Amino acid sequence: MDRLGKILEWCKSDRVRPPAYSEKTRASLKRCNKRHALKHPDRFEARKARFKIPVQPCEVCGSEDNIHRHHHNYSKPDDVIFLCKAHHAEMHKWDSN
Ligand SMILES: [Zn+2]
Ligand SMILES: [Zn+2]
């Protein structure tokens, strides 16, 4: 299965992270999430936290242009993946099926 396929699988399962996610990224996202979750209501922080995550190259092709954040679950702000414009569009195409 190709890269995009794996990410789509992750999105559908809502359990496992995409294989492209590094341990380091995962740890820092977790820390950030935890710290803010203690203080504030979920919704507000979910919205805020995603803007603190630095933009990363597309999970599928590694492009750094036109990067979009794709959220699978807004109650879990660290569940964000980065996709270029093209792959983001593709993701939503699959998602709506
Ligand atoms: Zn891409
Ligand atoms: Zn999206």
User: How does DSSP classify residue 17?
Assistant: P
Q: Is residue 15 part of a domain?
A: yes
**Ligand index nearest the alpha carbon of residue 83:** 1
Q: In this structure, is residue 47 part of a structural domain?
A: no
Cβ burial of 83 (10 Å; 0-12, 13-18, 19+) is: buried
Query: Which residue segment(s) compose the domain that 73 sits in?
Result: 52-97
Same domain, 65 and 29: no
pTM comes to: 0.47
Per this entry, what is the length of the chain?
97
Give distance in angstroms: CA of 58 to centre of ligand 1.
5
Q: Which residues of the chain form beta strands (DSSP E)? A: 67-71, 80-84
Find the ligand nearest to 84 CA: 1
The model's pLDDT over 49-86, given as tens digits with 9 standing for 90+, comes to 656 678 899 999 999 999 998 887 767 767 788 999 99
> How far does residue 69's CA lie from ligand 2's centre (Å)?
6
Same domain, 4 and 29: yes
The predicted-structure confidence for 2-44, as pLDDT tens digits, reads as follows 788 887 777 777 654 555 556 666 676 666 666 655 665 666 5
Residue whose pair of structure tokens reads 């977790």 in the numeric block = 30
Ligand nearest to the CA of 64: 1
Query: How many structural domains compose the chain?
Result: 2
45 within some domain = no
